[in-house]
Amino acid sequence: SNVTVGFVGLGHMGGPMAANLAKAGYQVLGFDLVPAALEQAAKDGITVVSSSDDAAKADVVITMLPSGKHVLDLYSGGLLAAAKPGTLFIDSSTIDVADAKAANELAVAAGHRAVDAPVSGGVAGAAAGTLAFMVGGEAEDFEAAKPLLDVMGAKIVHCGGAGVGQAAKICNNMILGVSMIAVSEAFVLGEKLGLTNQAMFDVVSNASGQCWSLTSYCPVPGPVPASPANKDYQPGFATALMHKDLGLAANALRANGVDGLLGLQAEEIYKRFKDETGGGLDFSAIVTDIRKRSGE
Ligand code: NAD
């Protein structure tokens, strides 16, 4: 392809995503603040450049950064000004809905086009090119972004206008966090009542309590052999990342006056667990914390 892609943020997710674009034949101009990330990128066929502004000289600029502050600092700190008029900016970081809208407004005001395109699927999905992208922005900008997203992902959904991709991401992860706590509380209650984990699984996985947190990612070892519970809760999806996403959901609940008691409580429960453990365990390890606090 003749389309050049700037890629800023070559970390756990951005590194393999950029590598897949290079593998697909795009010229990728990559930048990160961490030298080790640049060394790996060079091995993956990415053209390493010496600043984010240099990466912004491409036709499309993708950012994959830790937080909304990083995105807004870059957008307002010269990245937009360094780009050719009409450049398409794709931000795939998971950030506040309000920050995503602000980033979009900055890009449009600078004469560019922008979509928010957060992902799910984790590092494994990034490496395999099977991420799910949830996209917010104008329809024509979504169409322009889609060929690149198809290289990095398997399921690409246009969710609505600016910020609405981020909305889909935090709504999904709020359901995930709340449902994992609910499933974990039920396992611990079952244990107290003499119900084995396997018997509870056999009943609930075929009953109305069925959900992904139970049947695909079971927080106790045994019923779902591939779940992190069977590997000492190695992530998977780390507690710190779940807590980050629940914080974004809590911000949005408050900012929009939603009576989201469970979402707000889930953020506090994961904050406590993160503070106790450092946040490196898979988020399904919350069951071990509930068990401990229940005196088992
Ligand atoms: P990461 O910390 O591994 O990568 C972020 C990278 O951005 C780092 O390498 C950092 O050096 C770089 N960076 C920061 N500021 C920069 C700047 N000014 N210029 C250039 N580079 C800069 O994080 P990650 O795990 O790759 O996650 C990135 C985003 O994706 C986050 O918003 C995260 O919430 C989201 N996300 C992560 C996962 C996951 O499983 N890791 C899954 C879905 C979404």
**Residue 190's CATH number:** 1.10.1040.10
Q: Average of pLDDT values for 280-295?
A: 98
Q: Average of pLDDT values for 194-202?
A: 98
- 169 is a catalytic site residue: yes
Neighbours of 36 (CB within 10 A): 10
pLDDT of res. 2: 87
Same domain for 206 and 280? yes
Same domain for 187 and 269? yes
**To which residue do tokens 């060929």 refer?**
147
Show the ligand 1 pocket: residues with CB < 6 angstroms: 8-14, 31-34, 37, 52, 64-66, 70, 74, 93-94, 119-120, 122-123, 241, 244
Residues 6+ positions from 159 with CB-CB distance below 8 Å: 134, 135, 136, 165, 167, 168
Same domain for 205 and 66? no
The structure tokens listed for 178 are: 């709340």
Domain that holds residue 282: 167-293
Same domain for 213 and 144? no
| Bridge partners of residue 153, in order along the sequence | 131
Cα torsion through 84, 85, 91, 96, rounded to 10: 130
Residue in 169, 192, 231, 274 annotated catalytic: 169
Q: Residue with the nearest Cα to atom 12 of ligand 1?
A: 9
pLDDT of res. 87: 98
Residue 15 CA: nearest ligand 1 atom is 26
- pLDDT reading at 207 higher than 80: yes
The structure tokens listed for 64 are: 């994959």
Same domain for 172 and 95? no
Name the band, by pLDDT with cuts 50, 70 and 90, for residue 39. very high
Rounded to the nearest angstrom, the distance between the alpha carbon of 81 and the centre of ligand 1 is 23
DSSP secondary structure letters along 66-91? SSHHHHHHHIIIIIHHHSPTTPEEEE
- pLDDT reading at 296 higher than 80: no
From 7, 32, 53, give the residue whose CB has the most ligand 1 atoms within 8 Å, as the site to mutate.
32
Judge contact between 110 and 61, C-beta under 8 A: no
Same domain for 223 and 119? no
Same domain for 283 and 181? yes
Q: Average of pLDDT values for 186-206?
A: 98
- pLDDT reading at 5 higher than 90: yes
The structure tokens listed for 142 are: 């979504």
Q: Average of pLDDT values for 246-255?
A: 98
Go through the chain and tell me how many residues it has: 296
Percent of the chain with pLDDT over 90: 99
Residue 10 CA: nearest ligand 1 atom is 9
Q: Average of pLDDT values for 174-178?
A: 98
Name the band, by pLDDT with cuts 50, 70 and 90, for residue 109. very high
pLDDT of res. 1: 75
Query: pTM of the full predicted structure?
Result: 0.96
Q: Mean pLDDT of all residues in the chain?
A: 97
Same domain for 150 and 185? no
From 7, 8, 12, give the residue whose CB has the most ligand 1 atoms within 8 Å, as the site to mutate.
12
Rounded to the nearest angstrom, the distance between the alpha carbon of 65 and the centre of ligand 1 is 4
Same domain for 136 and 98? yes
What's the sign of the alpha-carbon dihedral 216, 219, 222, 227?
positive
Distance CA(111)–CA(56), nearest Å, equals 14
pLDDT of res. 74: 98
Rounded to the nearest angstrom, the distance between the alpha carbon of 19 and the centre of ligand 1 is 15
Residue 94 CA: nearest ligand 1 atom is 32
pLDDT of res. 266: 98
Measured in degrees and rounded to the nearest 5, phi and psi for residue 265 equal -65, -40
Alpha carbon 119 to its chain centroid, in Å, reads 5
Q: Average of pLDDT values for 86-114?
A: 98
Same domain for 249 and 196? yes
Q: Average of pLDDT values for 252-261?
A: 98
Distance CA(296)–CA(294), nearest Å, equals 6
Percent of the chain with pLDDT over 70: 100
- pLDDT reading at 201 higher than 80: yes
